[in-house]
């Protein structure tokens, strides 16, 4: 794998950029692998990468029915934070956030990580109490956050309106080391590193069946033929239920669409991420100048990846009161992603009833921020059978009543 650097760019410029190689190979599948990961999004690629880097398991295939990073990894709004209330959530998200900080150097690929900070606005007395509670919990967890007043919010976000007629800004939970990263680059960087280790990334290859023998997985059937494996990782976001059904078990989750949009590009006006959970909207400004805007999920189960007019109206209407300037912007584009939601709004990283088969899903609307931590924990679980990061997120918690309720604790699942 060619090393990327300023010197490499200068060298290739002198020879008209004819010496660049493909970032990753596109091979035909082999007959057998030590491990197969279904899903070439951020979580699946990160799992494969840490299997190779941390445990030396490099005879791995990452199978994708579409194109690499074409699902939720390429359709999210790039927020990275770890200020969750529950201990297991804070642990895995903080692991992810800390890995993001050095991920460009680790992968030798610029993921454009920007630790610009994240503010979660408090616009009711209830939210004040909730976020102050979270700040205290984060202090005990070793996650650096702080409660700030409205004056500090205005200092950080000059375009904000503190005195909204319905929901004035009363303060916020501030995580200075939160931020954003380029979502596509995260997938591309992991894919390039996996390919360099000899792993096969197989696109346009849909899994049509999971083969098993005596209660243990032995391989998968795909549109490119049967492939054998010792271990199988299912990391397919909104389609987790379908793959689980193929493997002979059910998952306690449902699929819904999450919509987002961006405005036309404008000059820099906001250099932090702001989440307004009372009105359920959040916003940041991209490096290209677009205002990246998102809200909640659709109110009904569906598998669409398109936007809808009513959701734009609901989300933008909610944000205009807090950010009056966006009322004058034109929308550039909108899209949707298929997210898998559990009852407690926390993910599933677990062994399954099928021996040798592991599941990573249920991230709901907050999956992007967890990619490195999710991959780290999932790789450890698949390689050794146990991971402290994933233990609390097992399937057993649903029948044992050990819920990790972030829908109430965080106020919003993003």
Domain boundaries, the chain: 21-82+84-109+183-252+344-409, 118-181+255-341
The architecture (CATH level 2) of 21-82+84-109+183-252+344-409 comes to 3-Layer(bba) Sandwich (3.50)
* CATH architecture entry for 118-181+255-341: 2-Layer Sandwich (3.30)
What is residue 414's predicted lDDT score, i.e. its pLDDT? 53
Q: Is the pLDDT of residue 78 over 60?
A: yes
Whether the per-residue pLDDT at 341 is higher than 70: the answer is yes
Q: What is the mean pLDDT of the chain?
A: 93
pLDDT tens, position by position, 90-104: 999 999 999 999 999
In 238-330, beta strands by DSSP E: 253-263, 273-276, 281-285, 291-297
329: CB partners within 8 A, 6+ apart: 263, 264, 266, 291
Burial class from Cβ neighbours inside 10 Å (0-12, 13-18, 19+) for residue 197 reads middle
Query: Among 121-125, 289-293, 339-343, 404-408, which stretch is predicted with the lowest mean pLDDT?
Result: 404-408
Q: Say which residue the tokens 């992603």 belong to.
A: 337
Q: Say if residue 74's pLDDT is above 60.
A: yes
Q: Are 353 and 248 in contact (CB under 8 A)?
A: yes
Q: Which of 107, 79, 80, 74 lies closest to 92, judged by CA? A: 80
Give the lowest-confidence range in 164-173, 266-275, 308-317, 381-390.
Answer: 308-317
**pLDDT tens track for 117-152:** 999 999 999 999 999 999 999 999 999 999 999 999
Q: What is the pLDDT, as a whole number, of residue 57?
A: 97
Using CA of residue 370, residue 70, residue 282, residue 237, what is the dihedral sign? negative
- Position 79 scores a pLDDT of 95
Model pLDDT, residue 408: 55
Look at residue 51 in the predicted model and tell me its pLDDT.
98
Answer yes or no: is pLDDT of 230 > 50: yes
Helix (H) / strand (E) containing 155 = helix 150-156
- CATH topology of 21-82+84-109+183-252+344-409 equal to that of 118-181+255-341? no
Q: Could you tell me what percent of the chain has a pLDDT over 70?
A: 98
Contacts of 134 (CB under 8 A, 6+ apart): 83, 84, 85, 145, 173, 409, 410
Q: Over 90: is that where the pLDDT of 406 sits? A: no
pLDDT of residue 411: 47
Q: Is 395 exposed, middle or buried (0-12, 13-18, 19+ CB in 10 A)?
A: buried
Share of the chain above pLDDT 90, in %: 82
Q: How many CA atoms lie within 13 A of 370 on its CB side?
A: 31
């Amino acid at each position: 794998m060619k090393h990327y650097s300023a010197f490499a760019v200068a060298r290739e410029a002198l020879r008209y950029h004819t010496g660049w190689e493909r970032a990753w190979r596109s091979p035909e599948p082999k007959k057998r692998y030590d491990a197969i990961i279904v899903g070439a999004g951020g979580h699946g690629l990160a799992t494969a990468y840490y299997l190779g880097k941390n445990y030396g398991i490099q005879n791995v295939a990452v199978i994708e029915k579409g194109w690499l990073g074409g699902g939720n990894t390429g359709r999210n709004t790039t927020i990275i934070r770890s200020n969750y209330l529950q201990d297991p959530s804070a642990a895995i998200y903080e692991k992810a956030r800390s890995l993001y900080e050095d991920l460009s150097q680790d992968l030798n690929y610029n993921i454009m990580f920007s630790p610009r900070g994240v503010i979660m606005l408090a616009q009711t007395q209830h939210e004040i109490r909730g976020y102050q509670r979270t700040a205290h919990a984060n202090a005990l967890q070793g996650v650096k956050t702080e409660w700030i007043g409205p004056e500090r919010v205005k200092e950080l976000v000059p375009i904000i309106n503190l005195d909204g007629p319905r929901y004035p800004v009363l303060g916020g939970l501030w995580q200075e080391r939160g931020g954003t990263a380029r979502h596509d680059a995260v997938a591309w960087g992991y894919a390039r590193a996996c390919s360099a280790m000899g792993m096969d990334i197989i696109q346009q290859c849909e899994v049509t069946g999971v083969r098993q023998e005596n209660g243990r997985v032995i391989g998968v059937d795909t549109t490119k033929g049967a492939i054998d494996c010792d271990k199988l990782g299912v990391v397919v976001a909104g389609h987790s239920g379908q793959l689980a059904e193929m493997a002979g078990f059910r998952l306690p989750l449902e699929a819904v669409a999450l919509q987002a949009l961006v405005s036309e590009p404008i000059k820099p006006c906001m250099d932090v991420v702001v989440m307004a959970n009372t009105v359920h909207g959040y916003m940041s400004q991209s490096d290209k100048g677009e205002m990246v805007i998102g809200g909640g999920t659709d109110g009904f189960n569906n598998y669409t990846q398109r936007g809808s007019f009513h959701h734009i109206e609901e989300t933008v209407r909610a944000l205009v009161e807090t950010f009056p300037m966006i009322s004058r912007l034109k929308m550039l584009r909108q899209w949707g992603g298929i997210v898998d939601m559990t009852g407690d709004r926390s993910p599933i990283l677990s062994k399954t009833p099928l021996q040798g088969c592991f599941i990573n899903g249920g991230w709901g609307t907050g999956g992007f921020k967890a990619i490195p931590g999710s991959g780290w924990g999932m790789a450890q679980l698949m390689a050794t059978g146990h991971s402290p990061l994933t233990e609390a997120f097992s399937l057993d918690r649903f029948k044992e009543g050990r819920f990790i309720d972030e829908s109430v604790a965080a106020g919003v699942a993003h």
